[in-house]
Chain A
Amino acid sequence: MSDVHDRFDTWLAADGAAELSRDVALHSSGCDRCLGQAAAIDGLLRLDVGAATSPPILDTARDGSVHTGLIEPRKVAWIAAAGVLALVTAIGVGNLGLARTGPAGAGQSRTPINEGVLGGAGGPSANPHTPSAPTDAVSASPVSSESEPAASIGPSIATARPTAAPTSAPALQPTTAPSATPDPTRTAEPKPSPSQTAAPTPSPTISPPPTPTPTLEPTPTPVPNCEDGIDNDDDLLIDGADPGCVLANDEFAA
């Protein structure tokens, strides 16, 4: 039986082009499986793909490439690469700009280096570079012109590093300067006292904030009514002549 089925399958696989033998035909005409398979194939043979409509027309470029309205992955990759390149360029330009226009950071970083070099070199003679560093950092303060020479002096290395804050730097540097340097050219200049403890004195700039002078203005206290030359209680007796002042140091007392 299976032999007949195999022969039938072979005939079916050839789409009926081969000769169908009589015994196979006799068998298959009464076999539901064989007839079912033949009917299934007939179902396909009846189909007509030409009954479909025409598909829509897509644009084609001159080179034959198709434009489906979607962005191809390759184009997406190119766009992404260009975006990354632009971003990297922008960051690079930004860094260059910062490096040029960042005086505070540059000045601070330069100062210790100069001081380090000067400290190793013995300080006093290494003046040529020194004006640049302090002027960058301290130019705003009034004491800067006086402190400039002092900044070039070696011994202040330890104190100069914390001077990253521009406000404290000028105050400390001049104090150490005279003590350490026998620089003849500068000797006339430093009026600050040699002692380091006295250093804060030349910096009067700090004092203004703690003295809120307005508190002194409303001074009614220096008005003892027995000394103001006024008849305060209208008894026609003034100050010492008033018995209140004699008895209680207060004109109103009597």
Chain B
Amino acid sequence: MRDAFRELHGTRLHGFALLLTLGDRAAAARLAAEALAEGVGRVGELRHPVRGAAWLRAHVVRASRVNDRRRAVPAGQSEVTLTPLGVDRAVLAGLSRVDHLGRAALIAGLVERFDRGDVATIVGRDGARLDRLLRKARESYAAGHMALAPNHEVPTPGPMVERIRDVTRRALQ
């Protein structure tokens, strides 16, 4: 049961921690391992996979808030660590602009596609406070991203840009 819990959550939780710490390998490994170890002890309560995943990330967010300000990722480590996850320089610059809690909300909502209730659990905010947190995080992230990709030059357009182009194409026909 415990091994299955680790199998189910370990990899993605570690990825979440890597993004949250902006590629700090040591911190991410410690945060994920501690959260998993705590979660294994509560495997009965966390049987639901999504609830368990949200609880584990909330644990990581709480534990990492203390270290966020005093830790500096060694130069160059972020790119090396995060490139396998699909992070390019523009995304890294955008995430670096967002504060710790906003970054957690962005990763949980946009990267991991948690629903709003689970994002609220992960960041410990809900309602209007969560809306403000998300809006501010999006703005900061977009500003950082556009600073490095001013002409929204992406090798392959993502779903949002594709959607805009698709609707525009249909409107012009």
Residue from B18, B87, B134, B167 having most chain A Cβ neighbours under 10 A: B167
Number of interface residues of B (CB under 8 A): 63
Contacts of A57 in B (CB 8 A): 6, 33, 36-37
CA distance A46 to B112 in the complex (A): 10
Contacts of A63 in B (CB 8 A): 41
Contacts of B124 in A (CB 8 A): none
Q: Are B33 and A56 in contact (CB under 8 A)?
A: yes
Binds B, one of A29-37, A80-88, A116-124, A204-212: A29-37
Chain A contact surface mostly = helix
Beyond A32-B152, A40-B142, A40-B145, is A53–B41 a contact (Cβ under 8 Å)?
Answer: no
Q: Are B112 and A49 in contact (CB under 8 A)?
A: yes
Q: Kindly state whether residue A222 has any CB partner on chain B within 8 Å.
A: no
Contacts of B165 in A (CB 8 A): 29
CA distance A212 to B112 in the complex (A): 104
Beyond A35-B161, A42-B157, is A68–B34 a contact (Cβ under 8 Å)?
Answer: yes
Digitize A26-65: 1 where CB-to-B-CB distance is under 8 Å, 0 elsewhere: 1011001111111111111111111111111111100111
CA distance A37 to B147 in the complex (A): 11
Q: With both chains docked as a complex, state the minimum distance between the C-beta of B31 and any C-beta of chain A, in angstroms.
A: 8
Contacts of B168 in A (CB 8 A): 22, 25-26, 29
Chain B residues engaging chain A, CB cutoff 8 angstroms: 2, 6, 10-19, 28-30, 32-34, 36-38, 40-42, 84-88, 90-91, 94, 106-107, 109-112, 134-135, 138, 141-142, 145-146, 149-152, 154, 157-161, 163-165, 167-168, 170-172
Q: List 8 A-B contacts (CB under 8 A).
A: A33-B146, A42-B158, A47-B87, A48-B15, A52-B18, A55-B33, A57-B6, A64-B40
Chain A residues engaging chain B, CB cutoff 8 angstroms: 12-13, 15-16, 20, 22, 25-26, 28-29, 32-60, 63-66, 68
